[in-house]
Structure 1
Amino acid sequence: MKNIKNILIIALAFIMHSCSDFLEPDSLSTFNSEYVFSNVDDARKATNAIYTHFNQDAFRSRLSNNMTGNTDIEQNFGTSTSDRYQIWNLTPQVTNGDLKVVWEEAYKAIRDANFVIDGINASAALNSTDPAIKSNMRQFLGEAYTLRAYWYSMLVFHFGDVPFMTQAPKAGVEFNLPKEDRNVILSAVIQDMINAEKDMQWADQTSYGIEQVNREYTLGMIARLALQRGGWFLKPDMTMDRKSDYLDYYQIAKDYTQKLMTLKDRELPKDFNQIFLNESKFIVANPKTSDVLFEVPFPIGQGDVGWNIGIRVDAGTHPYGSGGNYMNIPPSYLYSFDTKDIRRDVTCGLYYLDKDFVPQVVGIGAIAQGKWSREYLSPAPGASTNKGTGINWPMLRYSDVVLMYAEAENELNGPTAAAQSALKRVRKRAFKEVDWTDKVDTYVANVSGSKDNFFNAIVDERAWEFGGEMIRKYELIRWNLYDKKVQAASEQCKKYADEAKAGTGTLPDYIYVKNVNNRLVILNLDAKLAIAPDATWTRVSWLNALNSSTGALGYQDWITKAWANYTYPVRYIMPLPAVAITNSKGLLKNDGYGY
Structure 2
Amino acid sequence: MKLKYLLAFIPAIMLSSCEKDFLEPDSISTFDLDYIYSNVDDARNGVNAVYSYFNQDAFRSRLSNNMTGITDIEIGYHNGEYDNGRREIWNADALSSNNDLNIVWTYAYRAIRDANIAIEGITNSGNLDSDDANVKTTFNQLLGEAHTLRAYWYSMLAYYFGDVPYVTEAPVAGADFFFPKTNRNTILSKEIEALMAVEENMQWADALPYGIEQVNREYTIGMIARLALQRGGYYLKPDLTMARDSDYLDYYQIAKQYSQKLINLKDRELPSDFRQIFYNQNIFLSPVNQDILFEVPFAKGGGDVAWNIGIRVDGGTEAKHDYGSGSNYMAIPATYYMSFDSKDLRREVTCGLFKVTTEDTLAHVGVSNISQGKWNRRLLPEPPGRESAKGTGINWPMLRYADVLLMFAEAENELNGPTMEAQNAFKRVRQRAFDPADWSTKVDAYMSQISTSKQAFFDAIVDERAWEFGGEMIRKYELVRWNLYSEKIQETVDGLKKLADEAFAGVGTGPDYMYWKTDDQGNFVVLNPDNKVAAAPDETWIRQSFLIGLHNDTTTYSEFILNDFENYINGPQPGVVRYIFPIPVTAIDNSQGTLANDGYQFTN
TM bucket by the smaller chain?
A: over 0.9
Q: Does 1:541 align with 2:542?
A: no
The corresponding residue for 1:573 is 580
Deviations 1:265-298 (A, max 9, x none): 000011100101111101111x1x2200000000
Equivalence map 1:147-546=2 (5 Å)? 147-285=149-287, 287=288, 289-315=289-315, 316-517=319-520, 518-546=522-550
Letter in 2 for 1:323: G
Partner of 2:572: none
SS in structure 2 opposite 1:539?
A: strand
Q: Is the 8 A contact 1:37 1:120 kept in 2?
A: yes
> What corresponds to 2:101 in structure 1?
99
Are residue 586 (structure 1) and residue 586 (structure 2) matched?
no
Superposed CA offset, 1:361-380 (max 9, x none): 01101000000000011111
Q: CA deviation at 1:76?
A: 2.0
Of 479-488 and 539-548, more deviation after overlay is shown by 539-548
- Percent identity between the two aligned chains: 59
Deviation readout 1:434-459 (Å, 9 max, x if unpaired)? 01111111101110000000000000
Q: Structure 1 residue 40: deviation in Å?
A: 1.1
Task: For 2:4 and 2:237, locate their aligned partners in 1 and report how far apart those are by CA, in whole Å.
Answer: 41
- What's the counterpart of residue 561 of structure 1? 563
Name 1:57's counterpart in structure 2.
Answer: 57
Deviations 1:520-564 (A, max 9, x none): 21101111111111121122211111111233xx11101121211
Bigger Cα displacement from structure 2, 122-131 vs 568-577? 122-131
TM-score normalised over the length of structure 2: 0.96
1:66 Cα deviation (Å)? 0.2
Secondary structure at the aligned position of 2:89 is classed as helix
**Measured at CA, do residues 80 and 538 of structure 1 come closer, stay the same or move farther in structure 2, by a change above 3 Å?**
same
SS in 2 for 1:524: coil
Instruction: Answer whether contact 2:26 2:172 (CA < 8 A) is retained.
Output: no
Deviation of the 1:39 alpha carbon:
1.1
Residues in 2 aligned to 1:569 and 1:295: alpha-carbon distance in whole angstroms: 33
Match in the other structure for 1:79: 80
SS of equivalent residue, structure 1 residue 32: helix
For 1:399, the aligned partner's letter is A
User: Alpha-carbon deviations, 1:194-221, whole Å to 9, x = none?
Assistant: 0000000110111100000000000000
Q: Offset at 1:25? A: 3.0
Query: What letter matches 2:194 in structure 1?
Result: D
2:21–2:106 Cα contact (<8 Å) kept: yes
Contact 2:14-2:46 at 8 Å conserved across structures: yes
Q: Is the 8 A contact 1:76 1:558 kept in 2?
A: no
Aligned-residue offset at 1:254: 0.2
- Using the size of structure 1 for normalisation, the TM-score is 0.98
SS of the residue aligned with 2:148? helix
| Partner Cα distance (2:87, 2:314) in 1 | 23
Aligned amino acid, residue 80 of structure 2? T
SS of equivalent to 1:6: helix
Q: Deviations over 1:476-511 (max 9, x none)?
A: 000000001111011111100000111101111111
C-alpha distance in structure 2 between counterparts of 1:476 and 1:39, whole Å: 44
Aligned-pair CA distance for 1:20: 1.3
Distance (Å, rounded) in 2 between the aligned partners of 1:247 and 1:548: 47
Aligned residues: 590
Counterpart secondary structure, 1:186? helix
Contact 2:27 2:173 in 1 (8 A): no
2: distance between equivalents of 1:152 and 1:540?
Answer: 45
Compute the displacement of 1:7 (Å). Answer: 1.8
CA distance in 2, matches of 1:173, 1:257: 40
Q: CA RMSD for the aligned pairs?
A: 1.2
How many angstroms does 1:9 deviate by?
1.2
Measured after TM superposition, the shift of residue 13 of structure 1 is 3.9
Instruction: Report deviation, 1:519.
Output: 2.1
2: CA distance between counterparts of 1:571 and 1:79? 18
1:15–1:28 CA contact under 8 A, matched in 2? no
Measured in 2, the distance between the counterparts of 1:312 and 1:496 equals: 25
